[in-house]
Structure 1
Amino acid sequence: MKSYHLDPAGLTLREHEEPEPGRRQIVVRMRANAIGYRDLMVLAGNYPLPIRPGVVPGCEGAGEVVAVGADVTRVRPGDRVAATVFPRWLDGPFRRDDAAQLGTMLDGVLTECAVLDEDGVVPIPEHLSFEEAAAFPLAAVTAWNALSGSGALRPGATVLALGSGGVSLFALQFAKLAGARVIVTTSGAEKARRLRDLGADEVIDYRAEPVWWPRVRDLTGDEGADCVVDATGPLEQSLRSVALGGEVALVGYWLSGAEGARPVEPGLLFGSGAVVRPVATGSRAHFRELNRAVAAHRLRPVLDRVFPFTQVREAFEYCEAGGGFGKVIISHAS
């Protein structure tokens, strides 16, 4: 079997013997992966969590269980599963003990066979292909956590999603399933068209309107959005856009750049009357909840482009170039 690794020389491909599972471990033959901006940060060594030298990168993957170790009860050989990004975060609030993450501190899933804890996987909805299922573990779980924690997954709520990256696309899809009204910011007419096709009620071009928060207030009758899924910043504009008693789910503080990183005036923070909640992906419980909604509504993710496993480097170059719309997928299909 082959695995990619992060070495001082960069991303390398190595050959190994097929692994054997230990107690309460399983072996998953990976069928597809997804990559994105988070993975670019890991490759650049610019990620908030420690990165173990030689680690197998990648935190998003789906495949088939091919072997189980002693005392495994949750899955059986032949089950289709997706990996959880934080395999120790099962439920409840995020704690320090939950911080071990695939692809940084733990070996990830950019490999042909991954050894995972049985608690670190969830079943894949039947209607999804492996390529589609691989799109969910990071961006979708983050979006679900952002929305469900704020109570915005309800009819009549107003959700503001910043940008058209993976988290915001899933936030749009999940919020529309729940009957919410969704406003999205993006750049350019083509992305705006595609967002409307996905169900966005209003789209604001932040290049044409760099100061876009007055438009949000206008579109909401000066009430503001019940939940702002802030994946891009700037936080100042999110705070001016959120409703009194609403929530800003801060999921992309490192994406905000110089403008988004500016200090926020305490008066603005207090005056917003809102909660600012950092969202670090989500737990296995979040993943299982969203999968029930995905299965019930037969929801499918937005995929941008699929690369073969042999072209992972090209896939990273494509991500780095930017401009895509949807998840970039690595397929293991021969």
Structure 2
Amino acid sequence: MTMATNATRSDTPGSDFARLSKKVADAGLLGRRPGYYTLRITAVTGLYAAGWAAFVLVGASWWTLAIAAFLAVMYGQVALVAHDMAHRQVFRRRRASELSGRIAGASIGMSYGWWQDKHTRHHANPNTEDLDPDIGPDLLVWSPDQARAATGLPRLLGRWQAFLFFPLLTLEGFNLHVASGRAMANRRLKRRALDGALLLAHCAVYLTALFWVLPPGMAIAFLAVHQCLFGVYLGSAFAPNHKGMPILTADDRPDFLRRQVLTSRNVNGGLFTDLALGGLNHQIEHHLFPSMPSPNLRKARAIVRRYCRDLGVDYAETGLVASYRLALTSLHDAGAPLRRTRVRA
């Protein structure tokens, strides 16, 4: 079962979510938007190709680092399109969604199968300890309990992780590639042979292009700028969505509607914010209706916000800068036990 169907089938017809779902469906917001996605995919594909064409034309010049920055943004945009494809926002059928998602993932060096598995678990249990892979203590700690149990690198970084968060995002692009590669050892991953072949092809073509067109030092500089800025962009697009929101436990979870709304945060802004964040700034609506096309999320916001107000369910919404401040404050608070331990030592 896919992400899109996991959520919508989790409640009974008489539930709060079912009644909200009927309101949204009656407003016509669950229908596909082929014209929008044709335009968006064409634009992203064209700009992605133009970036690499400019890379070849500029050649061995330090101006190529500006192209690296542009391509970092385009890699982020491709990732956001792949996200919509994985949720079946673009195509209704699974085969078309998986094919297009794998092509998009391969173009930025990401395993579609690994990411879909990880993201499905996140959607089912957002901000839930031991269930949401996005808040696992792999490098940072997300709660005081995780801080007290931390060892190794999370324990070392956790004391000052709020100050290190954005610098660490420069590694997120590399981490995406490494995690995708490591996932190929997981025998439970569907179509891992295909994903592995696509990852190897991307790596071979990417590195060959860099070291064929540029001298070694310049190629390494391009790689560093491109991947570091890609990581910062990707992390900055996803960080406002859940960081700093309540963290649940597996034994204390509310119903589907409250589980999704109370752990998610919307980010205010206009069409530029929608474009830069790929619609993920409407995170509450996205988590409630994962298969809803991203341009419809803004329209669904008024319905969902009013419905939550009538139910007395907190609906979190803030500006982009404020969302980062809340996320960093939460990280700082989560690391407090480690700072106290250091003082006592």
| Greater per-residue helix proportion | 2
Common fold: TM-score over 0.5: no
TM-score with structure 2 length normalisation? Answer: 0.24
Of structures 1 and 2, the one scoring higher in RCO (CA 8 A, sep 6+) is 2
TM-score with structure 1 length normalisation? Answer: 0.24
Higher Cα Rg, which structure: 2
